[in-house]
């Protein structure tokens, strides 16, 4: 008998497969299905700061009445927040797996107080989802990194439940960023976020959205950094995201050092039943190799454990293609 139980951010999960924040985690009924499929935890659909501000802006009169505009902004924000808090409360009553709330924000203003309300509503943890484009040519990278650190510090001072940060892969030195987040007290990091990407329809000459779902090949980029972070930044949990489409993908990320994996695109493509397939594949693989628990093999192939860590450092194809003419 194998034990699939894992610890993530201090929370106990029956297995390491987490349903990531998405439209599939936006209602009680959908989350019940996810629990039934065997997920170890769920991250609720994010409440977007930008969306709330956009909705409020669309309601503005534009006639120069600041009091009215303040009322509209506050009403829209409070209404959205209350709906989200109600979702947390209802989900916690309906499922037994850990429920992690998600805040998608670009600033610390107002959202720190919201984090406290999330805790009071009963969420088991918070995932901070922060992203903005660093397109100011006159701004040093530290200016943008400080936004992450400022938000992390203020939220950690406000709540007692565990907090993770979902990060993109565009940092100059992500290992350094995660080390600083660990020092602030952030309990875990999710690597990596999948962001909206624009494309151009050349026939209609208009902007369109690129493919929104990940593919199994996206796993490789995440795998490298999970292994490096796991080996170089002890004391912070890692949840691997983007490109996990199979049970083998789960196993690879655990071997690289992840505590958990987050799945999304594969559930949209093939249904929540894919969670059961992943969990069963992990269990069967462990039985064949006589691993009694996930801790028996987790991180065995991270940067600090393998004989040749340079395989994770290599960035050029020269070794493989130098003989091809």
Alpha-carbon distance of 186 to 312, in angstroms, equals: 25
Is 296 among the domain residues? yes
CATH of the domain at 312: 3.20.20.70
- Within 10 angstroms of residue 24's Cβ, the number of other Cβ atoms is 20
SS3 201: strand
The pair of structure tokens assigned to 27 is 């209602």
* DSSP 8-state code for residue 3: B
Number of domains in the chain: 1
Alpha-carbon distance of 288 to 15, in angstroms, equals: 18
Q: What pLDDT score was predicted for residue 53?
A: 47
Alpha-carbon distance of 38 to 159, in angstroms, equals: 29
Alpha-carbon distance of 304 to 310, in angstroms, equals: 10
* DSSP 8-state code for residue 271: -
Is 164 among the domain residues? yes
Q: Structure pTM?
A: 0.87
Give the mean pLDDT per block of 10 residues along the chain (325 residues). Answer: 96 98 95 98 80 45 42 49 92 98 74 87 94 83 90 94 93 95 98 84 89 84 95 96 96 98 96 98 98 98 87 66 55
Secondary element (H or E) of residue 233: none
Is 198 among the domain residues? yes
Q: What pLDDT score was predicted for residue 70?
A: 42
Q: What pLDDT score was predicted for residue 131?
A: 73
Rg from Cα positions in the chain: 21
Q: What pLDDT score was predicted for residue 15?
A: 98
Q: What pLDDT score was predicted for residue 307?
A: 83
| Domain around 291 | 6-321
Is 199 among the domain residues? yes
Picking from 282, 316, 171, 302, the residue whose alpha carbon sits closest to that of residue 224 is: 302
Is 58 among the domain residues? yes
Q: What pLDDT score was predicted for residue 324?
A: 56
Is 1 among the domain residues? no
Write the pLDDT tens digit of every residue in 104-126.
Answer: 876 656 678 888 999 999 999 99
> What's the chain's average pLDDT?
87
């Amino acid at each position: 008998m194998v034990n699939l139980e894992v610890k993530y951010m201090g929370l106990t999960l029956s297995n390491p497969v987490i349903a990531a924040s998405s439209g599939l985690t936006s209602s009680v009924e959908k989350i019940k299905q996810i629990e039934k499929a065997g997920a170890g935890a769920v991250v609720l659909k994010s409440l977007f700061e930008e969306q709330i501000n956009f909705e409020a802006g669309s309601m503005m009169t534009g006639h120069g009445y600041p009091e009215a505009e303040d009322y509209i902004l506050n009403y829209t924000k409070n209404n959205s927040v209350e709906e989200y808090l109600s979702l947390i409360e209802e989900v916690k009553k309906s499922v037994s797996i850990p429920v992690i709330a998600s805040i998608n924000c670009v600033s610390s203003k107002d959202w720190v107080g919201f984090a406290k309300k999330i805790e009071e509503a009963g969420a088991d943890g918070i995932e901070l989802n922060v992203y903005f484009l660093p397109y100011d040519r006159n701004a040093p990278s530290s200016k943008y990194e400080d936004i992450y650190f400022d938000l992390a510090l203020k939220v950690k001072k406000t709540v007692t439940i565990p907090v993770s940060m979902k990060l993109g892969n565009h940092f100059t030195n992500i290992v350094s960023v995660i080390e600083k987040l660990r020092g602030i007290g952030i309990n875990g990091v999710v690597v990596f976020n999948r962001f909206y990407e624009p494309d151009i329809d050349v026939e209609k000459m208009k902007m369109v959205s690129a493919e929104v779902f990940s593919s199994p090949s996206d796993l490789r980029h995440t795998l490298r950094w999970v292994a490096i972070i796991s080996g170089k930044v002890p004391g912070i949990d890692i949840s691997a995201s983007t490109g996990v489409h199979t049970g083998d993908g789960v196993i690879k990320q655990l071997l690289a050092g992840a505590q958990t994996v987050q799945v999304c695109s594969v559930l949209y493509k093939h249904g929540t039943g894919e969670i059961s397939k992943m969990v069963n594949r992990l269990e069967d693989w462990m039985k064949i190799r006589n691993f009694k628990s996930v801790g028996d093999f987790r991180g065995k192939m991270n940067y600090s454990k393998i004989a040749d860590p340079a395989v994770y450092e290599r960035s050029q194809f020269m070794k493989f293609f130098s003989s091809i003419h």
